[in-house]
Amino acid sequence: MAEPLLAGVRVVESASLLTGATVGMMLADLGADVVKVEPPHGDLIRWALGQVTAGYSPAHLQLNRNKRAITLDMRTPEGAARFRRLLEGAAVFVDGNAPGTLAKMGLPDPVLAQLNPGLVHCSVSGYGVSGPYSAIPTHGLMMSALVGANPTTVAADGTLGAAEREGASISGRGGDAAVAAGSAAATAICAALVRRERRGIGARIDVSGADALLTQSMIPVVYQANLDRIADTTTLPLLSDGTGGPRYRLYATGDRRAVAFTALEPKFWARFCRAVGREDLIDASPDGVDLEHTLTEIFATRTQQQWISLAIDAGLAIGPVRSTLGEMSGDEHLRHRGVFVDAEHPVAGPFTYVGMPGLVDHAPFEVRLPAPALGEHNDAFEDGWPS
């Protein structure tokens, strides 16, 4: 197997709960040597989100794979000294602490830069290190709410609907703010490592989960923000009112399942029409109501699998709709891509992971190190990074 992309890159992760741990996981999955620094009682992520077995929540098992873990109390002189030694020998510091925490502990940005001039210091927080809201402690619902992923209306009696109270994304935009922030932070860190290698200087990166979630939805957002500036809407993949047209939507199949149909480009639309024997539709208006009714009837003539087989054989822009985890985990394509990975944890037992969103050197994703026990690697890091 080829050497992992980030082999030899030392990363210190000091973060609680999901966001910072996600950054560390993404770097560890790429081969970085990530040591997770926890307080003596452990990261709350171990205990707060359900238990497979004591101290091993599903979130801990997923997000802390491929890492080593130590405990130290940074409020004590000994703990602070150990933490400084780790930072001195690291290339990357993933800082998931509340903004201002490190400064209160005697490690403001100038001190960190002096301690390790080449350090790539990345803060990941809900609202970012700067800005009016930066001092507010945040969780994922707050991040998504700020950027419109949870549109809410208040009834005349002053109440919210049940789904809105739960924070469900009514608009279909949004996603997981921790994962969005993790992806944004990991991308910036990798770019900073390239500059570090070329110029020998570090970087100070500030990633906000709310910002990351908004940019993850940038295309619908930018179209809505500039809708009145678009003079010609005839070539848009979305209609001028922002809704999907007949050639870009979901359709029910003959077996009461569904497919996603995205024949936006003329060549894909013409190819579809010829494949189903409806050349008369090639010049049909792309946003007509009659076309939607016609396509609904056409897609009801075959099962989901028959449509997917036709899409593979004829090169059509049609894909399956998976509605449940069982359908997704059983999908032959997702299995081939290694999106779901079954492994055995030495304490928690059998566990199904969500893998990486890409293959490196054609190699399947693997969990090199299981999520560590609390303080499992304390001895190895007693005097800093092991040689």
pLDDT per residue as tens digits for the range 31-58: 999 999 999 999 999 998 899 999 999 9
Same domain, 318 and 199: no
Per-residue confidence at 176, pLDDT binned at 50, 70, 90?
Answer: confident
Same domain, 139 and 47: yes
**pLDDT, tens digit, 9 for 90 and up, residues 271-318:** 999 999 999 999 988 776 789 999 999 999 999 999 999 999 999 999
pLDDT greater than 50 at residue 22: yes
Same domain, 37 and 133: yes
| Exposure string for 308-339, b = 16+ CB within 10 A, e = fewer | bebbeeeebbbebebeeeeeeeeeeeeeebbb
Mean pLDDT, the chain, rounded, equals 88
Please report whether residue 235 resides in a domain: no
- The pLDDT, as a whole number, for residue 167 is 47
Radius of gyration of the chain from its Cα atoms, rounded to whole angstroms: 25
Please report whether residue 142 resides in a domain: yes
Q: Measuring CA to CA, which residue among 207, 174, 210, 215 is closest to residue 188? A: 207
Same domain, 18 and 102: yes
Same domain, 66 and 207: yes
- The pLDDT, as a whole number, for residue 311 is 96
Please report whether residue 21 resides in a domain: yes
Q: Give the domain CATH number at 310.
A: 3.30.1540.10
Residue range(s) defining the domain that contains residue 296: 249-329
Q: What is the dihedral of CA 130, 192, 354, 376, to 10 degrees?
A: -90
Please report whether residue 157 resides in a domain: no
Same domain, 289 and 321: yes
Average pLDDT over residues 138-153: 76
What proportion of the chain, given as a percentage, has pLDDT over 90? Answer: 63
Per-residue confidence at 372, pLDDT binned at 50, 70, 90?
Answer: very high
Please report whether residue 274 resides in a domain: yes
Please report whether residue 386 resides in a domain: no
Domain end (from 306, 329, 352)? 329
- The pLDDT, as a whole number, for residue 153 is 67
Q: How many CA within 13 A on the CB side of residue 361?
A: 6
Same domain, 205 and 57: yes
**pLDDT, tens digit, 9 for 90 and up, residues 65-119:** 999 999 999 999 999 999 999 999 999 999 999 888 999 989 999 999 999 999 9
- Where does residue 241 rank: exposed (0-12), middle (13-18), buried (19+ CB within 10 A)? exposed
Average pLDDT over residues 177-186: 92
Using an 8 Å Cβ cutoff, are 150 and 170 in contact?
yes
Please report whether residue 119 resides in a domain: yes
Q: Give the domain CATH number at 206.
A: 3.40.50.10540
Using an 8 Å Cβ cutoff, are 380 and 78 in contact?
no
pLDDT greater than 90 at residue 136: no
**pLDDT, tens digit, 9 for 90 and up, residues 232-266:** 876 665 544 444 689 988 999 999 999 999 998 89
Same domain, 324 and 348: no
> What total of structural domains would you count in the chain?
2
d(CA 168, CA 144): 10
Please report whether residue 164 resides in a domain: no
Residue 175 backbone class (left: φ over 0; alpha: ψ -120 to 50; beta: rest): left
Same domain, 270 and 135: no
Same domain, 320 and 349: no
Same domain, 359 and 305: no
**pLDDT, tens digit, 9 for 90 and up, residues 223-234:** 888 888 988 876
Same domain, 288 and 356: no
